[in-house]
Amino acid sequence: MTEVNENTALLGTSPTKSRFRLKAKTRKIMIATFVLFALAALLFQISDSSTVPHTKPKSDNKKNVIFFVTDGMGPASLSLARSFRQYKYDLPMNDTLFLDHYLIGSSRTRSSDSLVTDSAAGATAFSCALKSYNGAIGVDPFNAPCGTILEGAKLNGYMTGLVVTTRITDATPASFSAHADFRIQEDLIALHQLGNYPLGRMVDLMIGGGRTHYYSGKSRYGPSGTRKDNRNLIDEAINNGWQYVGSRSEFDSLKLGHNVSLPLLGLLADYDIPFDLDRSHSKYPSLEEQTITALNALSAATKNSDKGFFLLVEGSRIDHAGHQNDPAAQVREVLAFDRAFKAAVEFAENSDVETILISTSDHETGGLVTARQVTDDYPEYLWYPQVLDNAQHSGEYLQMKILNYDGNNKKEFVAKEVLKNDLNITDYTENDLHELVTLADGSKLQEKLNDMVSVRAQVGWTTHGHSAVDVNIYAFANKQETWLDILKNLQGNHENTEIGSFMARYMGIDLVKVTGLINETDHSAGINVKEINRVDLYDKYHHKLLNLRND
């Protein structure tokens, strides 16, 4: 079987490569130590009852693959969320996240053109199993469309799905289902996702936000579509046989996947689904509900097939909380993801189809540290989870609440309604209050609010962007041999592309062959490279904060 090899020439700038020579003896000792560790880890994994496969799947060919991306979740996010959960629910110090039981390794995340990746190159490493440049959506470093594991799965007879909490046209889901030179070509990405490219429709189910790139102007689906070509892709999709759901009540009519007709287009917000911390349960489903719905629908649709399904589930907005340096929003995003992952493990445990789950992050965001020096004195060894528990809303939500205030005592409103009621912060200075009342720029206001929370929690951030720290790999399989196969390939420290290669091989996908079928894809539409500025390239929605939320 052929696979797209990681183009090592592209990594030729890597400063660590081959200059480092160890003495033979030292090398032998290191190798022996490594083997011992690997064996110990293998035995530990096998004896840990929570990860031992329980079920006995029937078929040898029928497989389900559920791939999870925790966008922007680094190791510190897990530590933060774990301690927060212990504090909030009064749990013992040995209590862990559900995800913690499934840790098998870590992933290196650099892209072809930078030591710090963005989500587009990060996701393309998983989807095409190759390193590409920051901003690349399912294209290689020379802008040539590369076959993805979602396309390969569909061509091999699998059903396919995408579940996210941000725009369905955003970098991670796009890199599996579209081919574009730059992530900002979201109008084009929406077209590909519905099948307007050489392969035709490859996606059977989409649930997330991002309705705005599916229609133009005002329509019955929403007030402000942003497509520049005046098309209404939602109407077109419905005419082509898609079931469309655009609201919580329509989502509820899907009966958690038991009343779905595929293909399904679920666009539940114009942009992002709100942070779990801010989410109105009557307006938006949780990531767990979205995931269960997708699993049930895909499972039912493949019931009589000898092929299973490939599903991507993204905890998309862990990344946004990282960009915004908002620890209170981030811990809730991580916990919401943990519940979705748990639901999928339970699904796999109860399925008689061979099912694997792999979960990893594309990169870390925010340079988060679970400690922060807040005075000139020698720092205390602690951080305060109760400060995050006190926060009833994200900075993103609260800056809007302040900016939308139209009464005549803003100072009292901010002091009482925001600082006291929403954040339970009472030790602010007159200067803090003055800033919150007078700042007119939403992103500055958000920055101020999130900093007030972070400083009090003694949680540190080093960037509003991404970092190069390694991220964790988690896995589960409901069949012993498959589980050992995963460990053999992904235990320890790996390049992100190896995760894509593993899934391709597991589903019997020849990515080179898929690449050969899509060379005529229009991947450059709607873009004038000279007009793009560097920041917009990465994320035009979350660097410039827009007043876009619709709840």
Ligand X SMILES: *[C@@H]1O[C@H](CO)[C@@H](O)[C@H](O)[C@H]1NC(C)=O
Shortest Å distance, C-beta 248 to ligand X: 13
Q: Which of 255, 434, 488, 544 binds ligand X (CB under 6 A)?
A: 255
- Contact between residue 453 and residue 326 where contact means Cβ atoms under 8 Å apart: yes
Site string for Zn ion, 28-67 (x = CB under 5 A): ----------------------------------------
Could you tell which of ligand X, Zn ion, none binds residue 259, using a CB distance below 5 to 8 A set by kind?
Answer: ligand X
- Contact between residue 147 and residue 202 where contact means Cβ atoms under 8 Å apart: no
CA 170/CA 186 separation, integer angstroms: 7
**464 annotated ligand binder:** no
Closest CA to 334 of 298, 310, 359: 359
Q: Which of 33, 305, 386, 462 binds ligand X (CB under 6 A)?
A: 386
By CB under 5 A, the residues from 310 to 339 that bind Zn ion are: 319
Q: How many residues bind ligand X, per CB under 6 A?
A: 10
Shortest Å distance, C-beta 365 to Zn ion: 5
**522 annotated ligand binder:** no
**258 annotated ligand binder:** no
Q: Would you mind telling me the total number of residues written for the chain in this entry?
A: 551
Place of tokens 């490859």: 202
Task: Check binding of 92 to ligand X (CB under 6 A).
Answer: yes
Q: Copy the structure tokens of residue 483.
A: 């589980």
Could you tell which of Zn ion, ligand X, none binds residue 520, using a CB distance below 5 to 8 A set by kind?
Answer: ligand X
Residue type, 353: V
Task: Check binding of 170 to Zn ion (CB under 5 A).
Answer: no
Task: Check binding of 86 to ligand X (CB under 6 A).
Answer: no
Q: Which of 7, 55, 351, 390 binds ligand X (CB under 6 A)?
A: 390
Give the number of other CB atoms < 10 A from CB of residue 407. Answer: 7
Residues β-bridged to residue 105: 473, 492
Residues β-bridged to residue 492: 105
Q: Dihedral angle at the C-alpha atoms of 73, 74, 80, 84, nearest 10 degrees?
A: 30
Burial class (CB in 10 A: 0-12, 13-18, 19+), 426: exposed
**119 has catalytic annotation:** yes
Most distant CA pair in the chain: distance in Å?
A: 77
Could you tell which of Zn ion, ligand X, none binds residue 94, using a CB distance below 5 to 8 A set by kind?
Answer: ligand X
419: Cα within 13 Å, side-chain hemisphere:
24
205-209 and 243-245 beta bridge pairing: unpaired
Shortest Å distance, C-beta 404 to Zn ion: 26
Site stretch for ligand X (CB under 6 A), options 171-179, 216-224, 251-259, 351-359: 251-259
By CB under 6 A, the residues from 94 to 153 that bind ligand X are: 94
Question: By C-beta, is 319 or 498 nearer to Zn ion?
Answer: 319
Name the 3-class secondary structure at 105. Answer: strand
Question: By C-beta, is 66 or 268 nearer to ligand X?
Answer: 268
Residue type, 72: G
Question: By C-beta, is 276 or 319 nearer to Zn ion?
Answer: 319
Name the 3-class secondary structure at 22. Answer: coil
CA distances from 324 to 351, 394, 431 (A): 39, 10, 22
- In the set 112, 119, 127, 216, the catalytic residue is 119
Shortest Å distance, C-beta 387 to ligand X: 8
Query: Residues at the annotated binding site for Zn(2+)?
Result: 71, 319, 323, 362-363, 466
Residues that bind Zn ion (CB under 5 A): 319
Residues that bind ligand X (CB under 6 A): 92, 94, 253, 255, 259, 386, 390, 424, 519-520
Question: Catalytic residues, which ones?
Answer: 119
Query: Residues at the annotated binding site for Mg(2+)?
Result: 71, 170, 172, 314
